[in-house]
């Protein structure tokens, strides 16, 4: 039911808005709806409501009790957005009746979809009961991972070492453990997957209808990342959308240019505000420029609004609560206004809207020697936002860099416009301080 909730929300929203548009045309305005210029506006309004709903975390709210407030907020924000656009363009092709009636009807529909998603989430938690066969390090890592946000819900109900399953006189120990724990998913790490007796028992369970996954595939499907410890060189030879699918690369670049042009308007509009704030609580240069490593390992100069003291000194890992950040700089970071000048990097082709975070050359030199396959992230343009940024918010150490790299690998393997849109939606949620996956 959880997978059905999102399509239901979008299809229901489109049906409500289009139905109201048709009703207005037939009974109030007396015009031909399908042949009028109002139809594109009606479709645009429906799309706006869907985008805002996703940005507000619908239908996957973590707290069901906030469903009505979030639903009303999403519907109202969509109505205000399309009304503002009409006002700026001097066009009133979308009737007020359609806008206001949509808010009244879409709000309960959004709340209903949240309820459906919540029921599905509870069923997912009950369904995915994991039995793990692995070494102790892999077990400890997975147990910690399952306590964080997941792409698909799961609970670890039992753990066995490969030698426990392969040793002794019983060829049914794994089968018996899965049945005793009511397991629904068997996960094998690399060492377990090469043990003949483990694989034989896993095959019996698979034939009985149990799902079986390697640890690497489980991380990919349930956690949205690829574990470095489980990767082999051959498993990294996957196609990258930006390199191997010409249509995707062209559409992505076109979107980057369009979004960069829109962002440039916001950048210009924010300049007077930033200048005024700097004059009061952030005296010094307006911009902060720093070398970063981009696509193909080429260096470029990233541009941001300065948020630290001009005498901040040598560049080190930025930490939460960094004392080098000024009062006005904290405001710029909290609102993400400091990122706006990067639209210039995007328009110049040095960055993309979505991609791995660009790092400083000295950190890249250190990390490529310590972390296997680190340079793979430089096969594509770095991004203003990315899968790693929305799933793992802070990176202030080599351990954090390794964690984020696993999310980068997932993005590289699954690159697509759909995933890019998901990342942008989650970015909106993160900026707005909202939950949801």
pLDDT in tens, 106-136: 999 999 999 898 887 777 666 789 999 999 9
Residue 311, pLDDT above cutoff 90: no
* pLDDT per position as a tens digit, 366-418: 888 887 788 888 999 999 999 999 888 666 677 788 888 889 989 998 999 98
Q: What is the mean pLDDT of the chain?
A: 87
* pLDDT per position as a tens digit, 218-244: 999 999 998 776 665 556 667 777 777
d(CA 315, CA 359): 12
- State the greatest distance between any 2 C-alpha atoms of the chain, in Å, as a whole number: 83
Residue 437, pLDDT above cutoff 70: no
Residue 436, pLDDT above cutoff 60: no
* pLDDT per position as a tens digit, 96-108: 999 999 999 999 9
Confidence of residue 170 (pLDDT cuts 50, 70, 90): low
Token couple for 215: 């640890």
CA 367 to each of CA 4, 207, 293, 372: distance values in angstroms, whole numbers, following the listed order: 42, 43, 12, 9
* pLDDT per position as a tens digit, 317-353: 566 666 788 999 999 998 889 999 999 999 999 999 9
Q: Which of 358, 356, 363 is nearest to 398 (CA)?
A: 363
d(CA 145, CA 437): 16
Q: What is the Cα gyration radius of the chain?
A: 25
d(CA 88, CA 80): 12
Q: Are strands 299-305 and 129-133 parallel, antiparallel or unpaired?
A: unpaired
**What pLDDT is recorded for position 148?**
77
Strands (DSSP E) found in 203-298: 211-214, 287-293
DSSP string computed for 280-325: HH--S-SEEEEEEE-GGG-EEEEEEE--B-TT--S-----TT-TTB
**What pLDDT is recorded for position 277?**
94
**What pLDDT is recorded for position 74?**
92
Q: Which of 68, 76, 127, 134 is nearest to 103 (CA)?
A: 76
**What pLDDT is recorded for position 65?**
62
Asked if the peptide bond before residue 59 counts as cis, ω within 30 degrees of 0, the response is: yes
Give the DSSP H or E segment for 90: none
Q: Produce one character per residue of 288-316: b if its CB has 16 or more CB atoms within 10 Å, e if not.
A: beeebbbbeeeebebbbbbbbeeebeeee
Of the two residues 137 and 152, the one the predictor is more confident about is 137
**What pLDDT is recorded for position 62?**
63
**What pLDDT is recorded for position 171?**
75
Residues 6+ apart with CB under 8 A from 419: 387, 411
d(CA 14, CA 8): 10
Q: Produce one character per residue of 121-136: b if its CB has 16 or more CB atoms within 10 Å, e if not.
A: beebeeebbbbbbbbe
Of the two residues 87 and 410, the one the predictor is more confident about is 410
d(CA 118, CA 2): 7
**What pLDDT is recorded for position 125?**
62
**What pLDDT is recorded for position 7?**
92
Length of the chain in residues, anyone?
A: 437
**What pLDDT is recorded for position 2?**
67
Mean pLDDT of 246-263: 91
**What pLDDT is recorded for position 176?**
92
- Please name each of the domains of the chain with its CATH number: 2-123 (no CATH), 128-223 (3.40.50.10700), 241-432 (no CATH)
d(CA 313, CA 382): 26
């Amino acid at each position: 039911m959880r997978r059905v909730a999102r399509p239901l929300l979008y299809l229901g929203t489109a049906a409500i808005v289009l139905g109201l548009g048709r009703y207005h045309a037939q009974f109030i305005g007396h015009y031909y709806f399908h042949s009028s210029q109002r139809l594109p506006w009606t479709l645009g309004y429906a799309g706006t409501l869907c985008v805002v709903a996703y940005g507000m975390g619908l239908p996957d709210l973590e707290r069901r009790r906030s469903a009505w407030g979030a639903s009303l907020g999403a519907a109202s924000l969509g109505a205000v957005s399309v009304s503002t656009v009409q006002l700026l363009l001097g066009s009133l092709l979308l009737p007020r009746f359609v806008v206001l009636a949509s808010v009244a009807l879409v709000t309960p529909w959004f709340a209903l979809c949240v309820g459906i998603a919540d029921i599905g989430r509870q069923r997912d938690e009950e369904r995915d009961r994991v039995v793990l066969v692995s070494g102790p390090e892999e077990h400890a890592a997975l147990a910690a991972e399952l306590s964080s946000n997941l792409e698909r819900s799961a609970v670890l109900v039992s753990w066995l070492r490969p030698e426990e399953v392969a040793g002794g006189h019983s060829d049914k120990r794994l089968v018996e453990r899965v049945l005793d724990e009511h397991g629904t998913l068997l996960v094998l790490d690399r060492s377990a997957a090469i043990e003949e007796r483990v694989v034989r028992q896993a095959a019996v369970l698979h034939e009985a209808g149990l799902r079986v996954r390697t640890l690497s595939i489980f991380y990919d499907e349930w956690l949205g990342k690829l574990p470095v410890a489980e990767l082999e060189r051959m498993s990294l030879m996957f196609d990258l959308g930006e390199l191997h699918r010409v249509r995707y690369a062209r559409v992505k670049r076109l979107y980057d240019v369009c979004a960069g042009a829109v962002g440039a308007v916001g950048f210009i509009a924010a300049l007077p505000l930033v200048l005024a704030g700097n004059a009061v609580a952030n005296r010094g240069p307006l911009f902060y420029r720093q070398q970063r490593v981009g696509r193909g390992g080429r260096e470029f100069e990233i541009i941001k609004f300065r948020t630290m003291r001009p005498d901040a000194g040598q560049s080190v890992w930025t930490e939460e609560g960094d004392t080098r950040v000024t009062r006005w700089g904290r405001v710029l970071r909290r609102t993400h206004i400091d990122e706006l000048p990067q639209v210039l990097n995007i328009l110049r082709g040095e960055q993309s809207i979505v991609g791995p975070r660009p790092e400083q050359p000295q950190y890249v030199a250190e990390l490529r020697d310590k972390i296997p396959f680190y340079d793979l992230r430089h096969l594509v343009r770095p991004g203003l936002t990315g899968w790693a940024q929305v799933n793992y918010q802070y990176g202030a150490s080599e351990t954090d860099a390794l964690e984020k790299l696993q999310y980068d690998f997932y993005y590289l393997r699954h690159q697509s416009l759909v995933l890019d849109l998901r990342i942008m939606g989650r970015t909106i949620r993160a900026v707005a301080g909202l939950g949801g996956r």
